[in-house]
Structure 1
């Protein structure tokens, strides 16, 4: 076993990317690499195929790419909501199908960004699913501030994050951003789409001279689909003391296999999106 084939030595685990059942279904590479063909895309369904998305960067561990960013906005009342692409009906393969796609910040934003890890089969990812698109608090948030002030299903408001330039919970550095865990497009749906929301002065600063971030973030808020691109676990921002051992104290850390993501580094990633089932 070569040293390159291991997790960080502290974990004592192997990477187990190749040759594991399900590994090909999560195959993907960075924007500068080549696409690994995903055999799952040959199944019947809508959409899927080579997709370029904006994502929070994967910086360590076995995850093949970053987790896709969810563009967002703050409404006139101060509530935070995700942006869903425009929906239209097009002809694909001799049949009429709905697609969700739009130009945003100089990039093509599409629902295919979220079509991996089985999420492509969730009701909320269907282009025409009716939703108000607000981010809502989940049932068991890991942050004391959220568990004490939000009920399941409550929308997030800017006032919930008014201490975002000072907030800390003893993990990593205080003052880099205030997080929340929640759901998106999951009201009245059987499957829940997990998301992470973060308000950070670093995002505010980065958006000043970045066309994409100006269009996809608002008042320092950023969000992403919180499904690890390795084996579909749900990572966490500042949720684990052990994150520091793997360089993730101020990042998003997946305890399952020690993948780490940087929510302050938004990069383009190329991967093979899976088709939505009919």
Structure 2
């Protein structure tokens, strides 16, 4: 990650999630359930700024923080969708701008914003524009990360609950079986030049954790959890149970980035404070 990605140009704009004033305050906030906290703060930039997000936790390697979670909903036919925040127009310094932000998401007390995804150049992708026209379904790509996807799906197919019926026993020879069944795909990328890569897992562990955690109750569904699959180190695309050499780094059951050995725990959702990059004008 370049220095410009970590520290966008100052503009005087500051945006905080409700109830949080700076990194020192966040560091002192208590957490319940699976919601731990990590933080990294610096100055803000126009159209971005200090942002608190939920992410799958970075547990090893050079990545500075976790990868941001995408809240999930499942439609009446069982298809998986990534929820996009509410689009609204606000006045800022006398100028009307569009933002995508939902306060108190599903009664969880968490403010969910498109700024969660504004890093690693993703802030310039068409799909991150607040009003980008998308149905928000998770779509299987042309080169999926798992054999089961290659065998059952074609490029452009939507992910459906029925494809994950063996999630309590699935395994592919990497790490332990029965932890959950994964898939790779894209989100808000149809008819766009750039692809927003996502990963999803259906797991009994997520089902159990969501029972006692307000955020997971709001942001997961039927044991599914999803995240923007861009390593926060140098923006590579990691994988859950995709690399045999992950075991060398004690990461066979984690999300592992082969580029520089960053490791993420998909079953630990934490609050992370970072500086979101500004969207281009």
Residue 76 (structure 1) aligns with: 76
State the secondary structure of the residue aligned to 2:111. strand
- For the residues of structure 1 that align with 2:51 and 2:149, how far apart are their CA atoms? 34
Structure 1 residues not aligned, in runs of 5+: 1-20
- Do residues 36 (structure 1) and 42 (structure 2) align? yes
TM-superposition CA deviations, 1:216-240 (whole Å, max 9, x none): 0000001000000000000000000
Residue 79 of structure 1 deviates from its aligned partner by: 0.5
Check 1:181–1:58 CA distance in 2 against 1; reply closer, same or farther (3 A cut): same
- For the residues of structure 1 that align with 2:7 and 2:176, how far apart are their CA atoms? 33
State the secondary structure of the residue aligned to 1:234. coil
State the secondary structure of the residue aligned to 1:107. coil
- For the residues of structure 2 that align with 1:270 and 1:132, how far apart are their CA atoms? 29
Are 1:27 and 1:271, in contact at CA under 8 Å, matched by a contact in 2?
no
Are 1:26 and 1:230, in contact at CA under 8 Å, matched by a contact in 2?
no
- For the residues of structure 2 that align with 1:175 and 1:27, how far apart are their CA atoms? 41
Are 1:26 and 1:117, in contact at CA under 8 Å, matched by a contact in 2?
no
Structure 1 runs of 4+ aligned residues shifted over 3 Å read 26-34
Q: Pick the aligned partner of 2:119 from 116, 119, 126.
A: 116
Root-mean-square deviation (CA, aligned residues, Å) is 1.7
TM-superposition CA deviations, 1:72-127 (whole Å, max 9, x none): 11111100101000000111232111000002121000000000000000000000
- For the residues of structure 2 that align with 1:112 and 1:236, how far apart are their CA atoms? 23
State the secondary structure of the residue aligned to 1:172. coil
State the secondary structure of the residue aligned to 2:89. strand
Q: Pick the aligned partner of 1:271 from 260, 271, 274.
A: 274
TM-superposition CA deviations, 1:135-169 (whole Å, max 9, x none): 00011012110011111111001010000000000
Residue 23 of structure 1 deviates from its aligned partner by: 4.0
Check 1:259–1:228 CA distance in 2 against 1; reply closer, same or farther (3 A cut): same
Structure 2 residues not aligned, in runs of 5+: 9-22, 28-36
Residue 12 (structure 1) aligns with: none
- Do residues 217 (structure 1) and 220 (structure 2) align? yes
Residue 30 (structure 2) aligns with: none
In the TM superposition, 1:84-233 aligns within 5 A as: 84-102=84-102, 103-104=104-105, 105-233=108-236
**Corresponding pairs, count:** 252
- For the residues of structure 2 that align with 1:134 and 1:262, how far apart are their CA atoms? 24
Residue 48 (structure 2) aligns with: 48
- Do residues 22 (structure 1) and 25 (structure 2) align? no
Residue 22 of structure 1 deviates from its aligned partner by: 1.0
- For the residues of structure 1 that align with 2:227 and 2:160, how far apart are their CA atoms? 17
TM-superposition CA deviations, 1:159-211 (whole Å, max 9, x none): 10000000000001100010000000001111100000110000000001110
Check 1:121–1:174 CA distance in 2 against 1; reply closer, same or farther (3 A cut): same
Are 1:26 and 1:229, in contact at CA under 8 Å, matched by a contact in 2?
no
